[in-house]
Every structure is written in C-alpha cells, then in structure tokens.
C-alpha cells in the first residue's frame, strides 16, 4: 500500500519468486549463460557448421590428451610394478641374509 501511495509499481519491490508470469521473471533477470548463448549462437548454416567443427576439434584434443594421460599412467604403473618386484626380491634377499646372520650369532654364542 505504501508503494502505491508514492506512485511506485509494487512488482518492483516483490521478490521474483512472487511474480505470477514466469516469462516476466525470465526477461527481467536472464541468466548470463542464456545471454552468452544468444549473443554467440550462429544464425546461418555455415556458422553452425563452423561451431560444430570447433567443438569436434576440441573433443579430438580432449581425446588426444586423455590417450596421452592414459599412456603415461600405464607407463607409470609398469615402472611401479618393476619397482615392486625389485623391492620384493631385495626383501627376500635381506630376509635370507638376516636369517643366516641370526643363525651365525646363535651358533657363535653356543660355542662359547
């Protein structure tokens, strides 16, 4: 009521969720993405083709990078497997040496 006394439209003071007409709400506050798409959307067939070609190139680049990443990860996994085998062999060798050393110590103690 106060707004009408001062000659101000009450809809300017209501939250957008209270507006009855959804199209008014959309027109008052269009999303930045919608504005961006409207400005850049090609209107001609050649423009659409160009946009699709650009998208295809981006997808090819993404696929190439994904393949490179996968190859690098596979190579790293192979190196880790090799390191794991080497470490297992070293562990078995160390264990065998420790066993021999322990037997030697006990045999030395038993002799005294």
For 36-49, what is each residue's pLDDT tens digit? Answer: 555 556 679 999 99
Per-residue HEC secondary structure of the chain comes to CHHHHCCCCHHHCCCHHHCCCHHHHHHHCCCHHHHHHHHHCCCCHHHHHHHHHHHHHHHHHHHHHHHHHHHHHHHHHHHHHHHHHHHHHHHHHHHHHHHHHHHHHHHHHHHC
What confidence tens digit (pLDDT) does each residue in 64-109 have? 999 999 999 999 999 999 999 999 999 999 999 999 999 999 888 8
Q: What is the band of 31 on the pLDDT scale with cuts at 50, 70, 90?
A: low
Is 99 or 14 the better-scoring residue by pLDDT?
Answer: 99
Query: What are the structural domain ranges in the chain?
Result: 46-110
Is 67 or 13 the better-scoring residue by pLDDT?
Answer: 67
Q: How many CB atoms lie within 10 A of CB 15?
A: 7
């Amino acid at each position: 009521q106060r707004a009408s006394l001062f000659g101000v439209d009450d809809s300017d003071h209501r939250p957008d969720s209270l507006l009855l007409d959804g199209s008014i709400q959309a027109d008052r506050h269009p999303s930045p993405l919608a504005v961006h798409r409207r400005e850049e959307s090609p209107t001609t067939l050649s423009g659409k083709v160009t946009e699709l070609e650009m998208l295809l190139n981006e997808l090819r680049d993404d696929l190439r990078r994904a393949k490179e990443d996968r190859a690098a990860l596979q190579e790293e996994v192979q190196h880790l497997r090799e390191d794991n085998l080497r470490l297992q062999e070293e562990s078995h060798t160390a264990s065998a040496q420790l066993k021999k050393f322990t037997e030697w110590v006990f045999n030395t103690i038993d002799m005294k």
